[in-house]
Structure 1
Amino acid sequence: MKTAVQSLTKIEQLNFLLTNRIPRRWLTLFVGWFSQLESPLLAKFSIAIWQLFAEDLRLQDAKKQHFNSLGECFTRELKDGLRPLDRGPDIVTSPCDAIVGACGRVEGSKVFQAKGFPYELSELIPDVGLAHKYRNGVYVTLRLKSSMYHRFHAPVDCQVKQVNYISGDTWNVNPIALKRVEKLFCKNERAVIELKLDTSSSSITLVPVAAILVASMKFNFLSQTLNLRYRGANVIPCDAKFTKGAEMGYFQHGSTIIVFASHEYQLCPGIEQGIPIKMGEALLCGHPEPSETQPSPAFAGA
C-alpha cells in the first residue's frame, strides 16, 4: 500500500511539473493556432493521438464524425436528445458536462478551490456589488475534462447584459494544481457573467475559467472571441436572452465553470465533489425570492 501511494505521489508530481512548469502562454498560443489548422488528415491524426490519453472521448455522440480541424472536434455539437433537461421551476441545471469539484456554502465571502486553499469572492469577481450577492450563498466548481463536451448552456431562463472579461494566466485547472497553487482561479483568464432572472430577485452568476493549451472562450452573443490575443474592453455590454438549456457558448479546450447562487439556493441531493454531471441535470434547488421583494443594495452589515 505504501509503495502504491508513493508511486501515485510521483505521478502527481510529474503531472504538475509537465503542465505547470512550462511556458504556459506560448504553448497555449501554439496549440490555439494548431487546433485551427484545417486539414482532415492532420485532424484525424491529432485526434488519434488525443484518444491515446483520453479513453473516455466519445465521438460517437457527436453530430459529425469527421472533422476538418482539431478545434472543430473540441467544440463539437452533440446529437439531439442526448442531454435531457430538468425543467423543474426551482431547479438550476448544470450548464455543462463536468466533474464536480469543490462545492457547498460560501463561508461569508470565502470560497474554496480545494481543501485548505480558500479565496475571496472579490478576488475572483472584481465587481464588489456583484460579489456581495453571494455572501453566504452557494457555489459549485465544474471541471470540464479535455475529452468532454465543451459547450455550455443557460442553467435557467435568464438575460445577460454584460460580460466582464479578466485577462490572466493559463494554469492547468486539474485537481493536482488546485491543491498546490493558491488562488489559482483568481489568477487565470476568466469571464464573469451575471444571469438576470426575470421573475426573481435571486442571483446566479457563471464564471468560466480558461486554462492551459487553448485558453479561449466563445460566447454566441458576442462577436469577439475572448482569448490571450483579445485587446478590447474588459466590460463588454450585450443584450441576450436565454431559455433554460439554450446554448450560450463554448470553450476551445477543457476548463472550468464556477456557478454562484444567492443564499436561497442549495445543492441538489447527490451533488458532491468527484461525481460526474451532464449538462441539463439538476445542480441547485431552492425557492427564489419574487422580484418585488428585492432587498436594498446597501451593504449595511456586510
Structure 2
Amino acid sequence: MIQVYNRKTKSYEEELIAGKKYIEWTYESPIGKNVTELIAKKKLFSKLYGTYCDTKLSASKIPSFIESFNIDMTLSKKKINEFNSFNDFFTRELHSEARPINKNKDILISPGDGRLTAYENIDLDNIVQIKGLTYSLKELIDDESIASKYSNGVCVILRLCPTDYHRFHFIDSGIPYESHHIKGHYYSVNPIALKAVPKLFCENKREWSLFKSDNFKDVLHVEVGATCVGSIIQSYSPNVKVNKGDEKGYFKFGGSTTILFFEKDSIKIDSDILEQSKLGFECKVLFGENIGTKII
C-alpha cells in the first residue's frame, strides 16, 4: 500500500494505482523481475504499447478508466466521446479555471499534478530517489559543469501517476533553453519500482533543460520517462520568453516524473512538504498550487 499526504485534510490517503498487481509482480517477484529486465524495461515494449494507445481502438478503454479512478471530466476541455484515442484522453487539456495560478512573483507553484517530495541543501552525489536510495546529479544529466551549479540547492520531485493530468508547466516567467535528450530504459517510476531499482532516474530515458527564471535564478528541469510512456513531448519553443504557468510539455501514456533543481538560496519550500519528505511521504499537489517562496 502506498500512502500520500493530503495537504488540505492533513491526513494520509491510499494511492489508487493503475496496474497495481502487474507492477507488484514485475518488481517484487523473481519471475516478474526477469520479465522486467528482458522485456518491460525495453524501448520496444513501451513503443508498441504507446502506438496502440494512439489508435482509435484504444479509445474503448477510456470510460472504464475514468470510472475506476474517479476522474473529474468536468475539468476537461473535451468530452468523453470527443477523444480519438486513449493517448488523446491521457494528454487532455483542462479548462483554464480548473487550475488557478498564483501570479505573485515570489510564490513558487507546482509545475503539474502529482505526488511531490522536496529536499534542501542537497549533496550532488547523494540526491534522494526514495528513502534509502540515492543518485548523483552528474549521472542524471551527464553534465558536470551544469550539475555543479546546484550544490547545496533544492531538489523537487513530482511523480505523475497514470491517473493524473499529464501536462507540465513553467513555474515562473523567463527564458527556457533547448532540451537535451538522454537515452535509457523504461522502468516504472512507481515507488514499488523506485525501491527495487537503484538509481532508476539515471537508468531511464530522460530530457533536461535550463530555464532562466525571472525570480528563482537558473532552474534545471528534468523529465523522466517510464514504462509505456510513448513519448516526452516538449511543446515550448527554446529561447522564447514564457509566462508563469505556460505549458512546457506533456507525457503520453504511463506514469512519469518531473524533477526541478534550484540554486542555493533561491527558494524556500513549504514546511509541510519538507517535513513529509523527511518522513518518506509524498504530498499530493495540483498544478498551480503554492509549494514554496522566493528567498529575498
* TM-score normalized with structure 1 length: 0.79
The aligned counterpart of 2:256 is: 255
Query: Deviating runs (4+, > 6 A) in structure 1?
Result: none
Separation of aligned partners in 2, 1:56 and 1:169: 31
Question: Which ranges in structure 1 are unaligned for 5 or more consecutive residues?
Answer: 1-9, 223-237, 289-302
Separation of aligned partners in 1, 2:119 and 2:73: 29
The aligned counterpart of 1:121 is: 137
Higher-Rg member (1/2): 1
Which one-letter code corresponds to 1:270 in the other structure?
Answer: D
Which one-letter code corresponds to 1:146 in the other structure?
Answer: P
Pair 1:109–1:56, CA change in 2 (3 A): farther
The aligned counterpart of 2:45 is: 27
Which one-letter code corresponds to 1:29 in the other structure?
Answer: K
**TM-fit CA distance, 1:50:** 3.2
Share of identical aligned residues, percent? 32
Give deviations 1:124-148, integer Å, cap 9, x for gaps. 1222121111111011111101011
SS in 2 for 1:275: strand
Give deviations 1:104-162, integer Å, cap 9, x for gaps. 43125420101111111101122212111111101111110101101111101121121
Separation of aligned partners in 2, 1:93 and 1:114: 22
Pair 1:213–1:169, CA change in 2 (3 A): same
The aligned counterpart of 1:180 is: 196
Task: Indicate whether 1:240 and 2:240 are aligned.
Answer: yes
Task: Indicate whether 1:90 and 2:98 are aligned.
Answer: no
Task: Indicate whether 1:270 and 2:281 are aligned.
Answer: no
8 Å CA contact 1:102–1:113 kept in 2: the answer is no
1:48 pairs with one of 43, 56, 63: 63
1:221 pairs with one of 223, 233, 236: 236
Give deviations 1:51-90, integer Å, cap 9, x for gaps. 46x5143333211012111110011001220111122222
1:60 pairs with one of 49, 66, 74: 74
1:14 pairs with one of 9, 25, 34: 25
Separation of aligned partners in 1, 2:198 and 2:295: 34
Separation of aligned partners in 2, 1:145 and 1:57: 12
Pair 1:215–1:101, CA change in 2 (3 A): farther
8 Å CA contact 2:174–2:241 kept in 1: the answer is yes
Question: Aligned runs of 1:70-89 on 2, under 5 Å?
Answer: 70-89=86-105
Give deviations 1:192-236, integer Å, cap 9, x for gaps. 111112466x221111100000241111136xxxxxxxxxxxxxx
SS in 1 for 2:96: coil
Separation of aligned partners in 1, 2:195 and 2:122: 19
Question: Which ranges in structure 2 are unaligned for 5 or more consecutive residues?
Answer: 1-19
Q: More deviation in 170-179 or 257-266?
A: 257-266
